[in-house]
Structure 1
């Protein structure tokens, strides 16, 4: 189970999926808690932003076809100690403010469990006390639904009275490009975690550890849940060369972000030393990263594609004959926009130049990383490589996290782009 502190750290990004501009279809009862069945339907535009400091989200709702000049406003405030949100609704005609005191009306309070958020609070309707419920449903990166319901009997029964179905405007997909790095050195990192701790580490990683690493000169290529091992977390990061690796790792692990969160991250891990240092098996064999995009916030980029890592332990360092066989057996290069990617890697012969982070130097390997159609069966390839293999191949079937670059459709594919 997640600790309160760790849950709070991830929950501050709960509403990042709303950042940007949206169109919504609105359905609103003309009268509330009166047995009314007459719905008004109209369109609206929303723009959402996160205010400096990261603990407040603010958006505006404009519905010119319904009421020209009217503006609805939502103020969402995050409490870092509890991981809960307080949501205030205001309008430019005075709703949401007490006329005598000038104070904000009481908020609805709550949080998300998975992709559904539930928020409740007390209010007045025509002078009588009621209970108010907001429900948010995240429906991928470009759609969302909000519902409002009132209860006049303390929550025993509810009347749904307002719905908003949101669709992100086409030019507002909240995705970011990867750093312009063509990795010539790759770390394949496989962590064994304490039971039940993987989601804690995923939240920490996606929230705190991606951009600060890349700011030091590396690229976080992908982070994954192992589909066959519930307590395994796998990720890949790349570097331009070995010298860049040493400097980038020192910058991150001596920096403020890791110092702040390392205790929480390390507390999830039984073992973090199963690390392979790799390089592309031949010029151009590495995964093509150009065109890949990463979600800017904790939003599920749909549809995710499993990533497959096939690891071949070798009797000796990969020979030219072996690599020529791999090249001949590989599929022809596929366009990035198809969502199909394949990369081939072998053990990096240089010594580990950042000894604070151990790597396995007892193993020579050939590694195939693939996603999309390129991840198809490898039986014939296994047979071809058998003479060079020291042990049966090891397969990882991986599901990308929300902010993984690998495993989500690149720009130009079927997923969101820019």
Structure 2
């Protein structure tokens, strides 16, 4: 069976986890800081805070930015629900900005129009770097300066990617960036996430919210410490700590990150060539970006294909190939419809969803397997 995504774990990485299991620390130990420092150095950013997953990373990033009741967060409908749910965890409202029809990222033109015509301005905007391709962060940053909102990059797909010749995660055009280390992402810690920032205050608050709101840092304490054991709870935080086993795996995977990216880019280029004559719209890449290619998404030309997407999924599965869809527009989910969103609110995202599906793409996918994927897809579409 060829799945749409798959982790790659080698013996060195297994040994790294085993070494932690034999050590004095399984959690809250030195592996965490080593992993954080390695990711920060790779991205060219001052600080990194490792957490349990990208959802908790988004949550503490919103808390650190002061998102609260009566505030609103804007993101894109074309994302996983976590990009919007993080606002709801803080008691804030959510609104959406429709996607660009080429990149499937947040449309900056629509963002600018919405900012100019909306009385309730966002406290936070979460641009999502879909599939590994950066949003137009320079323009979003310029709008943030004009309209005074925090920019939180959801780069869950994007570690190793580049924008304007700078690594995603540098926070050059944002206040914070979030990565995911889920097994189907570029590198993995099993489950895991990270928030990156250059801001000293945000960094300290991220650390607080990760660990129950508890600190031993004397600069935060009210009064003097009773002794070396002493801590205080400064705010209501959460237990979002990553384990040392996860961090050791992530640290070791970072040694292979560039290798992973090279292979993914090769496979994406190969798909572009193999698929060019099929009734599909292939992924567009903006010249300012260099995608990390977490996923490879195509769109059906429904005027030339009789089968619907569901039938294609079933037929591919019977041939041993598992497709996926990224994403069901968030505003169409029942929870968000209960909040007042409706079908038709964001037509670009809805039209995209009707046509899009995700092909297998991962480091260990062989050329032969990729050719098989394309041959089977061609057969299914030609017999439609």
TM-score bracket, shorter-length normalisation: under 0.3
More helix by proportion, 1 or 2? 2
- TM-score normalised over the length of structure 1: 0.26
Specify which structure has the bigger relative contact order, considering alpha-carbon pairs within 8 angstroms and separated by 6 or more residues.
Answer: 2
Structure showing greater radius of gyration is 1
- TM-score normalised over the length of structure 2: 0.28
More strand by proportion, 1 or 2? 1
